[in-house]
Homo-oligomer: A and B are copies of this chain.
Amino acid sequence: MPAKIQPEHHNASSAGTMPGNRARNKLLREQQLLQLAQNILQQDGFAGLTMDRLTAASEVSKGTIYNHFCSKEDLITALSVDSLQRQLLLFHQVLALPGHSRERALALHYAYYRFSTAEPTLFLCLLSATTAAVVEKTSATRLAQRQALEQQLLSCCEQVINQAIADKALQLQAGRGIDQLTYLQWALAFGANALYGPSQQMGFFQGLEQQQLMLAGINLLLDGLDWTPLSGQFDYQQSWRRIAAALPQTQAAQ
């Protein structure tokens, strides 16, 4: 028997659609719209995503769509928020795996890599959502949502570094903060994924095996930080494979 949620009574009105239910319905429809938008993105790429097509794919009118997203840019930011939520989910999954601190850092890199390859269009969305032109035309509440999620993702990273310091696997040199380490790793991961990734950017690197390269880059960086166990003393290739196998493969399609 499906759980039918009854409206609260404190707001007197006739039977049928109550305010609580209504807000929930609106949110539900927004998620449906976002799903439709992602389908369009996957089928026809970024240029294929127009408000007209989204309207046609949905069961509501253009005006109603603008009731949810104040502009096309707002829609894109909404998609990026959705992406960050999935990314955060991946981060949590991957942090639940067993292993020492450096393996957990590696796991975060893997999760980021996995997302960028499994959802190339969404990765592009994330990128363009940070563009000034898009930011300027998105609602304040949506921007706040994104910022909150970004903060949560960062917390995951910092948590791992803090653990490493507590375990004495890593010592911070003078003048080097946790935010700096996070930034550097994020930059390497972002660059590697963007260069190889969604849009085949920079065609000249296509011959290389990306996963091996990413792992090599991460090892160089973390060895440079003296984050033990160093790559000479531990088989991180096996860690990478183990993490990859542990993550559910049902990420690509839906």
Contacts and interface: CB of A to CB of B under 8 A. Distances in A.
Interface of A: 45-47, 124, 127, 130-133, 135, 147, 150-151, 154, 176, 179-180, 183-184, 186-192, 194-195, 199-205, 207-208, 213, 216-217, 219-221, 223-225
A62 to B, nearest CB: 21
Contacts of A200: 130, 132
A133 B45 contact: yes
Given A191-B192, A207-B179, A208-B180, A201 B151 contact: no
Contacts of A217: 184, 187-188, 221
Given A190-B194, A220-B221, 10 more contacts: A45-B132, A46-B131, A46-B132, A127-B127, A130-B201, A135-B199, A180-B208, A180-B213, A187-B192, A220-B224
Nearest to A184: B217
Given A184-B217, A194-B191, A130 B176 contact: no
Mostly, the A contact residues are: helix
Contacts of A208: 179-180, 183
A132 B199 contact: yes
A48 to B, nearest CB: 9
Nearest to A124: B131
A132 B221 CA distance: 31
A203 B45 CA distance: 27
